[in-house]
A and B are shown apart, each in its own frame.
Chain A
Amino acid sequence: MAVYLLCLVLFSLGIYCILRKRNIIKIIVGVIIAEYAVNLFFILVAYRMGGRSPILSEGATIKNMVDPLPQALVLTSIVIGLATTALLVAIAMKIYEKYGTFDITKIKELKG
């Protein structure tokens, strides 16, 4: 149970970072932390007491494996996270080029 709560703490940390920090790079780090908390949680949900890794090798018997499906799904979700993060970082660099700052309180051309 404690592990799940730690996951929740990690997720909240990420959300806090997104909401509270003023530096764009820190916000991006917050997104990454929150995303990894969800991924970690997904893996933990699939864990079984004393389970072993779901790899079929020659001569092995299929017994007491953890659920392999979430691991495949998490891989997909990591790839999506990679694409999002790369795009966010590229946008952040462009923002720095245009505004000369990473501080979101100084970047507010859009209002209304």
Chain B
Amino acid sequence: MSREKTKGMSIIVKTITRLTVGLVLLYGIYIVLHGHVSPGGGFAGGVIITLSFVHLVLAYGKDTALKKLSKARASFLENMGAILFLSIALLGFMGGYFFSNFIPKGEPFHLFSAGIIPISNIAISLKVGAGLFSIFVALVLLKLKPTSEKKK
């Protein structure tokens, strides 16, 4: 991670952040992927993933975080999440119904089970994670650029 001394918080916060931010991100991904076998799921995991980026913004300033995930890319990921979720729902017509679970469901309590639910979880986590990050960045940047975008 960058060695900027001028921006962000003190060296202690930066060091701790450097150590923990990856873990937070990983934990978020874990929550998403195990959404169908344990408590959690797309929304909770997506929020945790966002928090890792918010963490970066708080410790290092917004430039470092925006270098990792720019606003345009966050917006792209958000839309992809929504479209992915909708396509899963529409593909359900193959199984006869909108939203039907057309993939074999497998054994309960296994990672690869439950048909479309893990995929939907991933889509939701993309949508929520990127969307929440967009909201955060938009609110942070709103003060600096009066014309900046304002999204839901």
CB of A32 to closest CB in B, whole Å: 15
Q: Is the CB–CB distance between B143 and A93 below 8 Å?
A: yes
CB of A56 to closest CB in B, whole Å: 8
CB of B47 to closest CB in A, whole Å: 9
CB of B107 to closest CB in A, whole Å: 11
| Number of interchain pairs (Cβ within 8 Å) | 28
Assess whether B138 is interfacial by the CB under 8 Å rule.
yes
CB of A84 to closest CB in B, whole Å: 9
Tell me, in angstroms, the Cα distance from A57 to B139 when the chains sit together: 40
Interface size counted on chain A using CB atoms at 8 A: 15
Which residues of chain A are within 8 angstroms of B43 by Cβ–Cβ distance?
Answer: 75, 79
For the residues of A in contact with B, the DSSP-based class is helix
> Can you show 28 pairs from A to B with CB atoms below 8 A apart?
A55-B38, A55-B39, A56-B108, A57-B38, A57-B109, A58-B109, A75-B43, A79-B43, A79-B128, A82-B132, A83-B152, A86-B135, A86-B139, A86-B152, A87-B152, A89-B139, A90-B138, A90-B139, A90-B142, A90-B150, A93-B139, A93-B142, A93-B143, A94-B142, A94-B150, A97-B142, A97-B143, A97-B146
